[in-house]
Amino acid sequence: MAHYQLNEAAVEQCRQLIDGREYVLDSEWGEVQPDAEAQNAYLEDHSWEQYAAWHLGLTDGANDETKARYAFVYGDFRRVHRSGLIACVYRAAEWRHKAIELAAHQLLQELDKAAGIPDKS
C-alpha cells in the first residue's frame, strides 16, 4: 500500500476556495471527480504546482510532476466539492492515512460552517 504525506499547499488552497465560496454542496462525486481526460486537459493549461494543489496527498517515492505523485483530489479543478472532501475522509480513514483523514475532516467542517450547514448534534 502506498504511503502519503499531507500536501499543506492543497490544504491552504482548499481553505482559500472555501473562504471565497468556491464550492459545491451537493454533487455525486463519482460523476464529477476529474477523470484522466479532465486531468490531462487541466495540465495542458496549468502547472504541476497548480495541479498538485488540488490533491491533499503526496505519494511517497513517486516523482514530482507525475500523476502518481498526487492523491486525494477534493475538487473539480474549479471548485471544492463537499462530496470530494467526504470521499477523501473516507478513503484516508479506510487506508489509515491519519494526517490526510484529519485534514480532510477539518476542511469539511470549515466548508459546512461557511455554507451555514447547522450542527445537529
* Sequence ranges of the domains in the chain: 4-115
pLDDT tens profile 67-83: 999 999 999 999 999 99
Three-state SS at 26? coil
pTM of the predicted model as reported, rounded to 2 decimal places? 0.96
User: What is the DSSP secondary structure assignment for residue 59, as one 8-state letter?
Assistant: E
pLDDT tens profile 6-51: 999 999 999 999 999 999 999 999 999 999 999 999 999 999 999 9
Q: Phi, psi (5° rounding) for residue 28?
A: -95, 105
Strand order from edge to edge, sheet including 55-59: 4-6, 55-59, 70-73
